[in-house]
Amino acid sequence: MTGTPPAGTITIAGKTVSRLGFGTMRLTGPGTWGYPDDCHTAVSVLRQAVHTYGITHIDTADAYGPHTVEHLVREALHPYPENVLIATKVGMLRPAPDVWTPHGYPAYLRACVEASLRRLGVERLDLCYLHRIDREALLFDQFEVMKALQDEGKIGHIGLSKVTPEDIRDAGKELTVAAVQNVLNMTDSFDPALELCQDLGIPYVAYRPLDAGVLASTRGVEEPLQWLLHRGDHVAPIPSTSQPRHLEQLVTAVAGGV
């Protein structure tokens, strides 16, 4: 399987990448907090994903840790291969383990982008998601600062995470939405944004594809991932794991493509 993109390819943020991506949320301590117990294995899993299995879509966020996973991604993969897409997300406060608070004020979003650039060791974030729309802040201000950062060359492409069709349409009035990242799996099987993204030609990145491991324990890995891949050519699942053995299972589950 070395170098062969699992489940074929998809174009996201101007790069042709593997449809099977790698989510990094589990490369932390409990509660998505701090470093994992075994940083060496976390770094090894990232390298295996890219260099052994040909996964070229790596998804992370400044909120994972917070901050720690971006450091691990840099340690494992920098300098990044030209064909690898490193996507990150900004706009979330992490005051404690398992606590997630959207914070979309422009000064904070700008500071988050600047910090992610430093942690990842890049001059531009190829794909940066607004991790959550902050419903307590002005919607236009959140889109405006992301577009401004893109115009300044600090963000290459802008994505949205956990959004509704209305959110996508509103954002589309101010900027080009390069990707949408929402929950989709055999348990949470309906998302009206899925069809809209297909109609608009927007890649749909499915996070929590195994329902945080529940589906893997009840249905195995192959059926839920193949179910997702059959939802449309624009769907790209990003399962997450911290274990090499589980990573191999994920790749094997989609190796036949769709």
Is 4 contained in some domain?
Answer: no
- Alpha-carbon distance of 80 to 56, in angstroms, equals 10
> What is the residue-averaged pLDDT of the chain?
96
Kindly name the residue from 64, 129, 204, 207 that is annotated as catalytic: 64
Is 2 contained in some domain?
Answer: no
Q: Is the predicted pLDDT of residue 148 greater than 80, yes or no?
A: yes
- The mean pLDDT of 67-79, rounded to a whole number, is 98
- Alpha-carbon distance of 24 to 19, in angstroms, equals 16
Is 1 contained in some domain?
Answer: no
Q: Is the predicted pLDDT of residue 256 greater than 70, yes or no?
A: no
pLDDT tens digits for range 183-215: 999 999 999 999 999 999 999 999 999 999 899
pLDDT tens digits for range 37-48: 999 999 999 999
* Cα-based angle 44, 27, 131 (whole degrees, multiple of 5): 130
Is 64 catalytic? The answer is yes
CATH number (domain holding residue 46): 3.20.20.100
Domain extent at residue 240: 9-254
Total count of domains within the chain: 1
Is 238 contained in some domain?
Answer: yes
Is 3 contained in some domain?
Answer: no
- Alpha-carbon distance of 223 to 25, in angstroms, equals 22
Is 77 contained in some domain?
Answer: yes
